[in-house]
Structure 1
Amino acid sequence: MSFSQIIFSWTAIIPVIVLLYYFFRKKYTDQTVSSTLFWSEIMQETRVSPYLKHLQKNALLYLQLLALLLLVLALMNPYIKKSTIVGAQTIFIVDTSATMLAGKGTSTFDTHKAEMLTLMDELNGRPVTLITTGATPKAILQQETNSKDIKKAIEDLQVTYETAEINKALDVAQAFVGDTPTSIYVFTDTLDKKQLPMEKDSVKWLVRGAAKDLTNIAITRFAATTDGQTAMALVQLHNDTKKEQKVTLTLHDATNHELVADSVIVPPQETMTKTYKDLPFDKTITAHIDAKDDYAMDNKQTVLLQTTTAKLVIDQSLHQLIQKGFQAINSNLKIVPSLQIADNKDATIITQQAALLEKMEKPLVLFGRDDTEKVTASGTVTITNDALFAFSDLKDIYVSAIYPGFTDYETIASIGEQPFIQRSPKGDIVVLADIADTDWPLHPSFPLFLWSVEQQLSESTASLGIFSPNEQRVVALTQEDWSVYSQQDEFLSSVANGVLTAPQQPGVYTVRSANEEKQLIVQLQAQERMIAQGTSYTLGNISDNGKEEVSKASFVPWLIIIIVVLLVLEWEVQRRRGFTN
């Protein structure tokens, strides 16, 4: 504690004068009076409590001395130094990742929001820039000076569950600094000092981290596979505490029916894996642990159950452009001689052998036909509203000759009145032309079509897969109006131009059109399933004319309140004794 008005210390003589007044005031001699002798028994309690009697006798003196001493202290203006915002502007970088929800009672995120609101009292008109983290950092405020707008922006902040990628946010903040003296507050859970750009002397970094004693038990990995009849699940648990933890691990299906309930003991600071076989097949399986830790978001995880992704096998006799195109899409592609292509019954086959359409159980891709002659083609290419053409427009393609179509197949693209691309009831995709008879490979739609074919035949068409929070991804959907809905059937967003933006909160969601629906899962990324020890520190220094700016928290308002209370007590003591005395 320091004093800014030490010159007023001379006023300490005032309570000394009062004390001397009490020393030299008139004193009286105790004299026994017979009429008061009967009070001796009643006053016995006072006599056995001399300290209480002394206090009662001298209460006014003590109250006056204490009030005067506090008044002297108030005149000297005592204060303590406290952290302050320095520089000509302030930048808040706010981590909105899922791990910010960790905390004991109050999350780290809410604690940081409260601190930001407190710091507003020290802004003194300085402009504020507010930046949130994520794959694409956002400047919520830019050089804002209106305190109401700043307060509202801080109160409206929410966790987005994305991985922080703090370096991107630091780069954005640097763009606002320039040569202006700046205080940059980084509100995160943990940040290594080496990540801070320290090239500029005009920046003071103030990092506010999470608490250091947070504990966590997490599902770090959850995977499930199925053969279409039964399922097998693998669950990996990590105990980040220093004590052995006993948790109950449960697995549930899509209807929340319990499949497994297992009591698991996880050793301290270790990872363990549990495997469960012969589980009933369902669309989804959810794993959950009842851990009593400081971070609940990593105690639950859901996976989509799909049959194993098929391998791609291509006929060696097909055109090189088809082979190269599929190789660019799927690095596990196998090129097999024509005589051996039928032996790959567990793979998705790409060939021109029409006889395999009836022999193979799994859908295949047919480029051209080897069982009939082709005919001259005329007219323009037209397509239907099919998922295969979500990103491949075939309107400018030239085709000189095509093969006759299959009578019982659905035509999804035509040349004039003739079928060009068909789909069988089993799901086979047939392109009724040789690549040598068309300029299709010269158009961007060709590799996009191959990608759509691979996506449709190699993955389950009932789901769109796993997304991370707020991830934007191109998806193969028919050219209809698609919307994303929550499990409570609440509309969340629309799919625009084939680009789906995943919801921010982990869970299972439905993507729906007028005629079809698909599921997707939003999962936390691996970095968001572990919490690190919190770090808080300050780096850098901003000076003004060689002197660092200091904030002083004065005690004077509190001292005045206490003095007023003492004066009221003095008045009450005097009233009880009688003002004439």
Structure 2
Amino acid sequence: MGFSNLVFLWTAILPIIVLIYYFFRKKYKDQHVSSTIFWAEAMQETKASPYLKHLQKNMLLYLQLLSLILFVLALLNPFVKSTEMSGEQAIWIVDTSATMLAGKDNTTTFDQHKETMKSLVSELSGRPLTIISTGDEPKTIVRQETESAAIHKAIDSLEVTYEEEQLPKAIDMAQAFIGDTSTSIYLFTDAVDRGELPIENEHVKWIVKGANKELENAAITRFAATANGEHTLPLIQLKNETKRELNVQLSLSNEAGEVLIEEQLALGSEEELTKTFEELPITAVLSANLQVEDDYESDNSMVTLVGNGMSQIVIDQQMHQLVQKGFQSLDTDVKIVPSNQLVSMANEAMIITNQTELLGKTNTPIMLIGRNDETAVEVNNLVDVSEDPLFAFSSLEDVYVNSIYPSFDDYETIATIGGKPFIQRSSSGDIIVLADIQSTDWPLHPSFPLFLWSVQNELMAGTTSLGTFSPNESRAISLIPGDWSIYASNDEYISSFENARQFKAPTEPGLYTVKSQEEEKPFIVQLPAQERSIQEGTSFELGTLENSGEEETSKTSLLIWLLLPILLLLVIEWEVQRRRGFAN
């Protein structure tokens, strides 16, 4: 608050003059007269309320002082400063990933940001606002909106989608709205590195609103299980992201919710623990739950489909013995058969081969190692893997590959060598390794048997289930044409689809089932690995606008709020004076 006409500060002497006048006005002394001696009894009621009598006696003084003080303030023209966003327009990028659900005192980062957004609406001052939500496919919630009511409605509609934030995609979308217009871009997220934000545009100023810096977290980072004979063998990884020791309780449950095992664990500061259990009862679905006092609950649970480790695996006789030994080390039923007999077993077992003609011709999964229809070309680089669940327990970063085969155009690439595809996945779930094992040093690394175990677990589960999906993931799945519906584990209806290419996974992580009149298959929606870890919150500003590097401010005059009380006081003074008599 401030005053724009300090030159009128001298008028503060006016109420002082009035006060001095009342101090030196003529005063009367009470004098008892015999003929009025009985008046004392009549005045008892007045003496019973001395404060009211004092107020009645000096009412005119108080009214005059108050009106003069307000008059002086009005001459000084007081105002209140209000902050406005810099730039001609504003863009808000809102992170809707799962980590936004972290927070203290039952208040998530996402809720805090929504309240901040609502408070910023008043600072727009008519500037157009665009709101973009993050995700694999960023969405424009409102575009160039100026109405406050519509903006508040859009803020209320924002929800966490559990997807990875995919911030570069949202930034690319925001660039389309900037052009040559000076823009303030607000990024509401938990944490972001300054290097991720483009600052070469002189028309853009970044304001990043991050999460609380004191958040603590312990998480289940990896979880998988396979069946071996009459037992289930789970493998789980836990991580303590705090700088203190945490006492946690880990429990594993079957699809009926029955607790199979429960164990108390101590996780050291920033410790990552891998835990295995043996001789658990056979179950189709296994759930892990971590009881711990932290600030992020979404990563304290995880569900996995149990792969049938005793399912038959058929390996092409032409494959290298290292491949045969690798699968045999997993304690599975492995058969070595001639190449010409693979077709007859194509619908009975998981096949390991290099014959590309078998792709798409079987009802069972295929792992293709090398190709028999192409010639390998020499490469000289290391492997770079993606955040695919297939590499959850195996890192291929130190694997050397001498030569690779040409890739399949329509398949998803999940690992590369020097930018060229190395491992791919077909639309039906087949795994393709575009190299002969003998042209790599992969079998010398511990990641080799772990990778084979992951492939076996994924492909065998795919024969009776749809597998694992990310939240809101759209992917073509292998289902017969028909009317299919998605249900949650509690039989709650989620959605329906007809074409297998129209399948879209639900938003929230958990166990789901697709059902038709003839068949049903379970599948899992799993939090991405990136969303199972929280970072220290960051808030900062980056860049300056060409016309103004500071947030703009405006002055709102309070003069109107002073003139009305002054007018009312003058009316009251006139009425008090009228009742007392103007002669007095």
Task: Using structure 1 for the length normalisation, give the TM-score.
Answer: 0.68
- Equivalent AA in structure 2 for residue 278 of structure 1: E
Alignment partner, residue 93 of structure 1: 93
* C-alpha distance 551-511 of structure 1, shift in aligned 2 (>3 A): same
| 1:512 equivalent in alignment to 2:515 | yes
Counterpart secondary structure, 1:260: strand
Alignment partner, residue 225 of structure 2: 224
Shift of 1:508: 0.5
Q: Quick one: distance in 2 between partners of 1:465 and 1:130?
A: 34
Q: Quick one: distance in 1 between partners of 2:275 and 2:32?
A: 94
- Equivalent AA in structure 2 for residue 18 of structure 1: V
Q: Quick one: distance in 2 between partners of 1:146 and 1:240?
A: 43
Instruction: Describe how 1:327-338 pairs up with structure 2 within 5 A.
Output: none
* C-alpha distance 548-498 of structure 1, shift in aligned 2 (>3 A): closer
| 1:13 equivalent in alignment to 2:13 | yes
Aligned residue-pair number: 487
Q: Quick one: distance in 2 between partners of 1:274 and 1:511?
A: 32
Counterpart secondary structure, 2:299: helix
| 1:523 equivalent in alignment to 2:530 | no
* C-alpha distance 110-67 of structure 1, shift in aligned 2 (>3 A): farther
Shift of 1:547: 9.1
Alignment partner, residue 470 of structure 2: 468
For the 8 Å contact 1:484–1:495, the answer to whether it is kept is no
* C-alpha distance 41-464 of structure 1, shift in aligned 2 (>3 A): same
Counterpart secondary structure, 1:473: coil
Alignment partner, residue 553 of structure 2: 551
- Equivalent AA in structure 2 for residue 515 of structure 1: E
Q: Quick one: distance in 1 between partners of 2:494 and 2:298?
A: 23
Q: Quick one: distance in 2 between partners of 1:83 and 1:558?
A: 21
* C-alpha distance 349-476 of structure 1, shift in aligned 2 (>3 A): farther
Deviations 1:411-447 (A, max 9, x none): xxxxxxxxxxxxxxxxxxxxxxxxxxxxxxx9999x9
Q: Quick one: distance in 1 between partners of 2:561 and 2:342?
A: 98
Counterpart secondary structure, 2:84: coil
- Equivalent AA in structure 1 for residue 182 of structure 2: P
* C-alpha distance 443-151 of structure 1, shift in aligned 2 (>3 A): closer
Deviations 1:146-186 (A, max 9, x none): 54443333221111101112122122212221111111111
* C-alpha distance 64-98 of structure 1, shift in aligned 2 (>3 A): farther
Which protein shows a greater Rg? 1
For the 8 Å contact 2:477–2:500, the answer to whether it is kept is no
- Equivalent AA in structure 1 for residue 538 of structure 2: T
* C-alpha distance 386-235 of structure 1, shift in aligned 2 (>3 A): closer
| 1:485 equivalent in alignment to 2:487 | yes
* C-alpha distance 8-32 of structure 1, shift in aligned 2 (>3 A): same
* C-alpha distance 69-305 of structure 1, shift in aligned 2 (>3 A): farther
Alignment partner, residue 410 of structure 1: none
Deviations 1:20-79 (A, max 9, x none): 3322323334667887999999999999xxx99999987875676466445544553444
Alignment partner, residue 28 of structure 1: 28
* C-alpha distance 559-466 of structure 1, shift in aligned 2 (>3 A): same
- Equivalent AA in structure 1 for residue 92 of structure 2: F
- Equivalent AA in structure 2 for residue 347 of structure 1: V
Question: Structure 2 residue aligned with 1:347, among 334, 338, 346?
Answer: 334
Q: Quick one: distance in 2 between partners of 1:134 and 1:210?
A: 18
Alignment partner, residue 106 of structure 1: 107
| 1:363 equivalent in alignment to 2:349 | yes
For the 8 Å contact 1:74–1:559, the answer to whether it is kept is no
Alignment partner, residue 380 of structure 1: none
Counterpart secondary structure, 1:262: strand
Question: Structure 2 residue aligned with 1:532, among 527, 530, 535?
Answer: 535
Deviations 1:88-122 (A, max 9, x none): 22111110101111223322212222332333333
Q: Quick one: distance in 2 between partners of 1:244 and 1:345?
A: 39
Alignment partner, residue 159 of structure 2: 158
Alignment partner, residue 267 of structure 2: 266
Alignment partner, residue 211 of structure 2: 210
Q: Quick one: distance in 2 between partners of 1:63 and 1:354?
A: 109
Shift of 1:467: 1.4
Counterpart secondary structure, 2:278: strand
For the 8 Å contact 1:543–1:549, the answer to whether it is kept is no
For the 8 Å contact 2:46–2:53, the answer to whether it is kept is no
Q: Quick one: distance in 1 between partners of 2:519 and 2:230?
A: 24
For the 8 Å contact 2:314–2:350, the answer to whether it is kept is no
Deviations 1:324-381 (A, max 9, x none): xxx9xxx996699xxxx9xx973365645659979x99737699xxxxxxxxxxxxxx
Q: Quick one: distance in 2 between partners of 1:237 and 1:345?
A: 27
Alignment partner, residue 138 of structure 1: 139
- Equivalent AA in structure 1 for residue 558 of structure 2: V
Q: Quick one: distance in 2 between partners of 1:44 and 1:243?
A: 71
Alignment partner, residue 123 of structure 1: 124
* C-alpha distance 504-3 of structure 1, shift in aligned 2 (>3 A): same
Q: Quick one: distance in 2 between partners of 1:314 and 1:479?
A: 32
For the 8 Å contact 1:90–1:126, the answer to whether it is kept is yes
* C-alpha distance 172-263 of structure 1, shift in aligned 2 (>3 A): same
Q: Quick one: distance in 1 between partners of 2:258 and 2:161?
A: 30
| 1:3 equivalent in alignment to 2:15 | no
Q: Quick one: distance in 2 between partners of 1:354 and 1:273?
A: 41
* C-alpha distance 191-67 of structure 1, shift in aligned 2 (>3 A): farther
For the 8 Å contact 2:313–2:351, the answer to whether it is kept is no
Counterpart secondary structure, 2:503: strand
Deviations 1:546-574 (A, max 9, x none): 7966224648399759969x969x99xx8
Q: Quick one: distance in 2 between partners of 1:495 and 1:543?
A: 53
* C-alpha distance 549-285 of structure 1, shift in aligned 2 (>3 A): closer
- Equivalent AA in structure 1 for residue 130 of structure 2: T
Shift of 1:504: 1.3
Shift of 1:204: 1.6
Shift of 1:509: 0.7
For the 8 Å contact 1:348–1:362, the answer to whether it is kept is no
- Equivalent AA in structure 1 for residue 528 of structure 2: Q
Counterpart secondary structure, 2:307: coil
Shift of 1:196: 1.6
* C-alpha distance 268-81 of structure 1, shift in aligned 2 (>3 A): farther
Shift of 1:257: 0.9
Shift of 1:255: 0.6
For the 8 Å contact 2:187–2:206, the answer to whether it is kept is yes
Counterpart secondary structure, 2:17: helix
| 1:252 equivalent in alignment to 2:253 | yes
| 1:76 equivalent in alignment to 2:65 | no
Shift of 1:228: 4.2
Instruction: Describe how 1:384-403 pairs up with structure 2 within 5 A.
Output: none
* C-alpha distance 443-303 of structure 1, shift in aligned 2 (>3 A): closer
For the 8 Å contact 2:233–2:280, the answer to whether it is kept is yes
For the 8 Å contact 2:510–2:526, the answer to whether it is kept is yes
Counterpart secondary structure, 1:474: coil
Alignment partner, residue 167 of structure 1: 168
Counterpart secondary structure, 1:472: coil
Counterpart secondary structure, 1:250: strand
Counterpart secondary structure, 2:107: coil
Q: Quick one: distance in 2 between partners of 1:483 and 1:210?
A: 38
For the 8 Å contact 1:86–1:182, the answer to whether it is kept is yes
Shift of 1:142: 3.0
Deviations 1:170-217 (A, max 9, x none): 222122211111111111111222222111111121111122233333
* C-alpha distance 497-551 of structure 1, shift in aligned 2 (>3 A): same
RMSD of Structure 2 on Structure 1 (CA): 4.8
